[in-house]
Amino acid sequence: MSDVPSIQLNDGNSIPQLGFGVFQIPPEDTVEATKLALEIGYRHIDTAEMYGNEREVGEAVRASGLDRGDVFVTSKLNNSYHEPDEARAAFERTLSDLGFDHVDLFLIHWPLPTLYDGDFVSTWRTLEAFKADGRARSIGVSNFQVDHLERLAAETDVVPAVNQIELHPYLLNEEVRSYGEEHGIATEAWSPLKQGEVLDDAAIAEIAERVGRTPAQVVLRWHLQRGSIVFPKSTTPERMRENFELFDFELEPGDVERIDDLDRGEAGRNGPHPDQFAYAG
């Protein structure tokens, strides 16, 4: 039913390159939105304890009638729970809220290098145990900078399968992305549309007009051709369908490069910088 390619992860598992993100979807709307996403053909859902809708994601997967094994579900460890005992309890709550015996991918949501005495290493070792006992098929990180990844490489045994980072045409985040490429860590691009902001860009609009696609389709296609994994969020049914129709056209290399050139570096960042973000409330 779906033409979505899979990306092979460094642990041998694979992940659909296109998914559906549920950040900022209120719990009361999440079952309906996720069920519709699954009807459209999405087979990868990106949630987090922080989003407050894991319970509803699990309910939607069950209500879809699909086999659990046909839907790739990611969740993330919230910032308050980095200490290993807390992380173990939080992971159990995530599984219980989802109503699953495993997640396909579990991430440390933020590195928080200024909290917990800078110790995200023992948190990562805790995730290694979730992978070893099979309750997380794959494990990864989110918002990790190169020095954080280097520290994991020096002090632990398992290389993260993915690093989920802010990445869109105004923030290429190239140093982190290319480190991932060199070390077998797949890049997941969060806020792939910069929450809609890049869709008004004149260069993107011009390319969209010329190839007969929408600006969102052009931006998502650009991500896919650069090898990133994406999971745009929308609660608008026609946009959810539009964001799934990416596999019957291709951008020319010149158009990919033109979008690359829109990078604004740090000025293009939407969310907090991972080195400074210190919210664990």
159 Cβ partners below 8 Å, 6+ apart? 10, 152, 153, 183, 184, 185
**Count of chain residues binding ligand NAP (CB under 6 A):** 29
Residues 103 and 69: beta-carbon distance below 8 Å: no
Which residues, 195 to 214, sit near ligand NAP by CB under 6 A?
195-196, 199, 214
239 or 269: CB nearest ligand NAP: 239
User: How distant, in Å, are the alpha carbons of 53, 161, 195, 234 from that of 29?
Assistant: 9, 30, 18, 11
Transcribe 232-281 into DSSP letters: -----HHHHHHTT--SS----HHHHHHHHTT--GGGG--S--TTT-----
Residue 239 touching ligand NAP (CB under 6 A): yes
Quick one: which H or E segment has residue 29?
A: helix 27-40
CB of 197 to ligand NAP, least distance (A): 8
Residue 103 touching ligand NAP (CB under 6 A): no
**Binder of ligand NAP out of 148, 177, 194, 213 (CB under 6 A):** 194
**Binder of ligand NAP out of 21, 58, 140, 268 (CB under 6 A):** 21
**Binder of ligand NAP out of 193, 204, 208, 259 (CB under 6 A):** 193
Q: Is 51 a catalytic residue?
A: yes
**Helix, strand, or coil (residue 8):** strand
Stretch that binds ligand NAP, among 82-90, 123-131, 228-236, 252-260 (CB under 6 A): 228-236
Residue 46 touching ligand NAP (CB under 6 A): yes
Residue 241 touching ligand NAP (CB under 6 A): no
Residues 145 and 176: beta-carbon distance below 8 Å: yes
68 Cβ partners below 8 Å, 6+ apart? 61, 100
Residue 180 touching ligand NAP (CB under 6 A): no
CB of 48 to ligand NAP, least distance (A): 7
CB of 248 to ligand NAP, least distance (A): 16
Residues 222 and 259: beta-carbon distance below 8 Å: yes
> In this chain, which residue has its C-beta nearest to ligand NAP?
21
Residues 95 and 135: beta-carbon distance below 8 Å: yes
254 or 281: CB nearest ligand NAP: 281
Q: Which residues of 262-271 are buried (b: 16+ CB within 10 A; e: fewer)?
A: beeeeebbee
CB of 254 to ligand NAP, least distance (A): 23
Q: Give residues in contact with ligand NAP (CB under 6 A).
A: 21-24, 46, 109, 142-143, 164, 190-196, 199, 214, 216, 231-236, 239, 242-243, 271
Give the catalytic positions in this structure: 51
